[in-house]
Structure 1
Amino acid sequence: MKVAVAGGTGLLGRAITTALLDAGHEVVVGSRSRPAKDPIDSRAQWVSVDVMAPATLPALLAGADAVVDAVQFPNSPIENPKKGYTFERIDLGGTRNLVDAAKAAGTPLFIGLSGVGAAEHAAYHWLRFKWQEEQHIAASGVPYVVFRPSWIYGPRDVSLNRFLGFAKFLPFVPVIGNGKTRINPLFIDDLAAHVVAALEKPEARGRIFEIGGPAVMTMDEVITTALRVAGKRRFLLHSPKPLMKLVASVAQYAPGRPLTRGAIDFITMDGIADTTALGEVFGLKLTPLEEGLATYLKR
């Protein structure tokens, strides 16, 4: 199949692109900028695409048998309204543009990436926008499969690897909140494998699947597991969430916008995926955290 991957130069898009190519598919990667400094897989084709510029989308979708929406705004989940990097504009607006373009192009399959907890009346706006994305996809008439991932980790992630980065020069690892946030961490290669499988799973069409790892863990357990696999011994230093929100209220005005109050909520919210339906339809292995980490962390 010929598969278009929108956002194919990002964390999720790169893993999905490689998995598609390894499975024998032809891949066209669409992104806003030419990936010169950080090349994409040489087996893939690249086209200049911006989901906020609908006129650019036909070039990505031409002749495609499926399109994968892996678009994320830079430095997500830290929104930057002045630059237009928000969940409403990029995640929701970009998805709407891509879905509409896929419908106009007659693309046979749209694969969307949402998020665990997406709901009409969710507590956080990003989850409400994810739900609105799903609604637009479902109403479009384009055949679709949507995945709602839990917390994703992998060689290029900027979340778990950030904790490990602190361990390189500090005797402790700073943790925002009490460390009791509950997630079932998802190995990025598992997400990619399910996207590939969805291409040839007619029984998955028109459905939304939650996807996460095989075990529910606290954030403290995730970090200590990563430290153990990396061969490091550090204690965890917890910072109260209200205090960090106060810090973020100032930091959001610093160059590079390193932290926001919304990002504090994002990284401390629970994210537990119910994988029952996923297992029934796909039947693929979900990798335990320690096993996934061992594929790229060196002692």
Structure 2
Amino acid sequence: MQDRLVTMFGGGGFLGRYVAQDLLHAGFRIRVAERHPETAFFIKPMGGLGQTQFVAADIRKPATLARAVEGADAVINFVGILDGDFQAFHVDGAGNVAEAAKAAGVRDFVQISSMGASHDAASTYARSKAAGEGAVREAMPDAVIMRPSVVFGPEDGFINRFASLARMAPFMVPVMRSETKFQPVYVADVADAVATVLADPAQHRGKTFELGGPQILSMREINQFILDSIGLSDKPIFDVPDALGKIMARMGFLPGAPITWDQWQSLQTDNVMPDDAEGFAELGIQPRPLAALAENWLVQYRTLGRFASQVGEA
């Protein structure tokens, strides 16, 4: 693998840094493509001398992509947003990267999509993810699609956000769509899946993998786990009525609003693996549960940090 070069668009992001670490340890060379490459320089010490390259590129601008994919054996597109111009990033951008990879003679392509991606989904986010998959496969029919559920880890914007809100909530913790179910997946397990595919790409070309963790948890159960982990078990959870949740979501354009309308639409559907989907099992990976890992970094939200009791304020 030492002669194989992988270009990673958005490789300095939350998932990208874990994949970079796995690929470097396996002996790959990597090229991290970012709009601002300096934001990913922290990856360089993970590998050996000359093992990591950085290049400026913007997936919305095709003219910037050729240099990023030149000489690459494989390309991974991590780029995704939770709010904003989904068409530009998820659809046109993904297609631009795949077209550039095809023109450069790249053999293997991995597209990081999202569980729930569907052309008839309620949310624009999920529909754009499905359209992005189509744009990639149009240029690179053998591309591998990875669809993780909500990804958790020390740097995530999901568990950490709810932990912060739970700590700040004065009397109770409001939870929208508390019965919506998720299959939280550990970031390092998703990275392992990506690295496994690239280690033996011929076995996986053209496949789609749904990557869900070993537990299916409701939004209420996730928040209760967080409260238990940060020593606030006695703080009650308030199930926000749908009528009120809709109003709050409609006001999502306001600064500080807790949720956008499109995110509200996403919450109308459970984010879990289809029964017949291929996932971690087919890759020989045993995913790890939220409870086995999250407490390691959630201690920062306890009143007295590691010295606080797990149950109660101190």
After TM superposition, is the score higher than 0.5?
yes
Q: Is the Cα contact below 8 Å between 1:149 and 1:273 reproduced in 2?
A: no
Amino acid at match of 1:283: G
Using the alignment, how far apart are the partners of 1:290 and 1:266 within structure 2?
24
**Structure 1 residue 257: Cα displacement:** 7.3
For residue 64 of structure 1, report the CA deviation from its aligned partner.
Answer: 1.4
Q: Work out the CA distance in 2 between the residues paired with 1:3 and 1:23.
A: 12
CA 1:34–1:135 in structure 2 vs 1: closer, same or farther (change >3 Å)?
closer
In structure 2, the residue corresponding to 1:119 is in which secondary structure? coil
SS at match of 2:95: helix
- The answer for the alignment partner of 2:57 in structure 1 is 49
**Structure 1 residues 21, 216: closer, same or farther in 2, change over 3 A?**
same
1:218 & 1:99 partners in 2: Cα distance? 36
Taking the aligned partners of 2:191 and 2:185, their CA distance within structure 1 comes to: 11
Matched, 1:35 2:38: yes
* Structure-2-length-normalised TM-score: 0.83
Give distance in 1, aligned partners of 2:60 and 2:7.
17
Q: Write the letter of the residue equivalent to 2:139.
A: S
User: Is 1:175 aligned to 2:175, yes or no?
Assistant: yes
Q: Which residue of 2 aligns with 1:208?
A: 208
CA deviation vs aligned residue, 1:239-290 (integer Å, no higher than 9, x gap): 22332332333340x3587642112223453100147522443111111111
Give per-residue Cα distances to partners, 1:160-193, cap 9 Å, x unaligned.
211100233334332122x111111111111111
- SS of 1:143's partner is coil
Alignment of 1:1-299 (within 5 A): 1-36=4-39, 39-43=41-45, 44-73=52-81, 76=82, 78-79=83-84, 86-141=85-140, 143-171=142-170, 172-177=172-177, 179-201=178-200, 202-233=202-233, 234-252=235-253, 254-255=254-255, 259-267=259-267, 269-274=269-274, 277-298=278-299, 299=306
Distance 2:156 2:114 in 1: 16
Report SS of the residue matched to 1:46: strand
User: How many angstroms does 1:58 deviate by?
Assistant: 1.5
Q: Which residue identity does 1:31 align to in structure 2?
A: E
Give the paired residue count.
287
- SS of the equivalent of 1:35 reads helix
Q: Is the 8 A contact 1:114 1:130 kept in 2?
A: yes
Structure 2 CA distance for partners of 1:250 and 1:97, relative to 1, 3 Å:
same
How far apart are 1:195 and its partner, in Å?
A: 0.4
Q: TM-score, normalised by structure 1?
A: 0.87
Q: Residue 40 of structure 1: SS of its match in structure 2?
A: helix
Q: Label 1:167 to 1:121 Cα distance change in 2 as closer, same or farther (>3 A).
A: closer
Aligned pair in 2 of structure 1 residues 290, 26: CA closer, same or farther (>3 Å)? same
Tell me the equivalent position of 2:309: none
Deviations 1:78-102 (A, max 9, x none): 33xxxxxx22221111100000000
Q: Could you tell me how far apart the structure 1 residues matched to 2:255 and 2:149 are?
A: 30
Q: Structure 2, unaligned stretches of length 5 or more?
A: 46-51, 300-305, 307-314
2:302: which partner in 1?
none
Q: How many angstroms does 1:14 deviate by?
A: 2.2
Q: Flag structure 1 segments of 5+ consecutive residues without an equivalent.
A: 80-85
Q: Could you tell me how far apart the structure 1 residues matched to 2:297 and 2:27 are?
A: 24
Alpha-carbon distance between aligned partners in 1 of 2:148 and 2:169, rounded to the nearest angstrom = 31
CA distance in 2, matches of 1:21, 1:228: 37
| Distance of 1:140 and 1:32 partners within structure 2 | 23
Among the aligned pairs, what percent are the same residue?
A: 31
Radius of gyration: which is bigger?
A: 2
Alpha-carbon RMSD = 2.2
**More divergent stretch after superposition (189-198 vs 277-286):** 277-286
* 1:270–1:139 Cα change, 3 Å: same
Native 8 Å contact 2:208 2:278 kept in 1 = no
